[in-house]
């Protein structure tokens, strides 16, 4: 890298939302310490920011990422920071996820005015969420409540509860933590065993071009947390396998412990009346996946790629879900 490149700021492309700016700022601060270079945030407007239709109608997967990735490929920025749960499983040609920092709290939380637990809400209570997965979960866990399909930033969603328009909203714990906003509403954390969340929830993905300078790739690798990368690779493997024949709302959460990974995954019928789930623990065999390698997973023993192996675990879980009838939980129009 030339002296001029070392002096030039690293341009970090990010959505304009307060949450996106906040999580990009956390990455920027860490990258500045590692690289010794200034990191400049480049705001980019995505389709998800301008299209106010329901996520269930326009499809949540990819609508926040496409414009940002175009900017990266066009040289408008050097790196991107995404909420990993917003990324499609297929990586575009020429791009790589160079780092997955340590995952934050992957749980969902319910925010309400009086602290009534979700399952105890009165009949007709209005619960706001725009996620098809959360909609199915609410209908299963609080069948007497009315689900209101909403969009908007964290502040506006909380404001609709404070004003009395809604009785509760469901948000990601990681988003509340990263944005650092004051929460005056009562908070109920939803346990992952009963309420698993979206693949990659709580995780960030730092993306760059495959031909990025070696010095930049090396700096980004220092941001990577291997246990997080392996866990989210399992989760995204489940999602990838289900997309072939199942578009139902689904959840997957994996935890790497020692030399094994436990993955809890559920596919829901859209109305929440049925579900098919698995809770399995798979070995990460010594000599096949090693957890003390480099941040990019390249230091696996015997030449095995730990990320490839983690993906195969996820694909295997997806096949088992499909074998148990997961594809039948959605109507033909949704397939």
10: alpha, beta or left? (left if phi > 0; alpha if psi -120 to 50): beta
The 3-state DSSP class for residue 159 equals helix
Q: Which two tokens stand for residue 183?
A: 């929460």
Catalogue the active-site residues. 86
Q: How far is CA 271 from CA 118, 122, 132, 249, 331, in A?
A: 17, 19, 9, 10, 11
Please tell me what DSSP assigns to residue 288: T
Q: Strand runs (DSSP E) across the chain, as ranges?
A: 10-15, 39-44, 79-83, 95-99, 108-112, 126-128, 146-148, 168-172, 186-189, 204-209, 250-257, 260-268, 275-283
Rounded to 5°, angle at Cα 152 from 89 and 137: 60
């Amino acid at each position: 890298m030339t002296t001029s490149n070392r002096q030039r700021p690293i341009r970090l492309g990010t959505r304009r939302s307060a949450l996106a700016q906040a999580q990009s700022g956390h990455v920027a601060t860490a990258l500045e310490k590692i690289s010794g270079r200034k990191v400049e945030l480049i705001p980019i407007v995505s389709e998800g920011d301008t299209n106010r239709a329901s996520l269930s109608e326009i499809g949540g997967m990819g609508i926040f990422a496409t414009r940002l990735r175009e900017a990266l490929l066009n040289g408008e920025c050097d790196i991107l920071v995404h909420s990993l749960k917003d990324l499609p499983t297929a990586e575009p040609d020429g791009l790589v996820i160079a780092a997955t920092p340590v995952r934050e709290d992957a749980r969902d939380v319910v925010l309400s005015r009086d602290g009534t637990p979700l399952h105890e809400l009165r009949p007709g209570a209005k619960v706001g969420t725009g996620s098809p997965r959360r909609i199915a979960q609410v209908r299963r866990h609080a069948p007497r409540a009315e689900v209101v399909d909403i969009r908007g930033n964290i502040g506006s969603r909380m404001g609709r509860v404070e004003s009395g328009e809604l009785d509760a909203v469901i948000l990601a714990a990681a988003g509340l933590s990263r944005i650092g906003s004051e929460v005056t509403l009562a908070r109920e954390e939803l346990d992952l065993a009963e309420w698993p969340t979206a693949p990659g929830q709580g995780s960030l993905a730092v993306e760059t071009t495959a031909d990025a300078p070696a010095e930049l790739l090396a700096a980004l690798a220092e941001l990577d947390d291997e246990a997080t990368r392996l866990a989210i690779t399992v989760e995204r493997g489940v999602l990838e396998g289900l997309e072939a024949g199942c578009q139902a709302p689904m959840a997957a959460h994996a935890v790497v412990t020692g030399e094994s990974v436990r993955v809890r995954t559920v596919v829901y019928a859209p109305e929440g009346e049925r579900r098919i789930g698995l809770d399995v623990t798979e070995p990460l065999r010594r000599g096949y996946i090693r957890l003390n390698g480099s941040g990019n997973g390249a230091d696996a023993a015997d030449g095995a790629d730990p990320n490839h192996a983690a993906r195969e675990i996820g694909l295997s879980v997806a096949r088992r879900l499909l074998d148990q009838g997961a594809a039948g939980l959605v109507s033909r129009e949704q397939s």
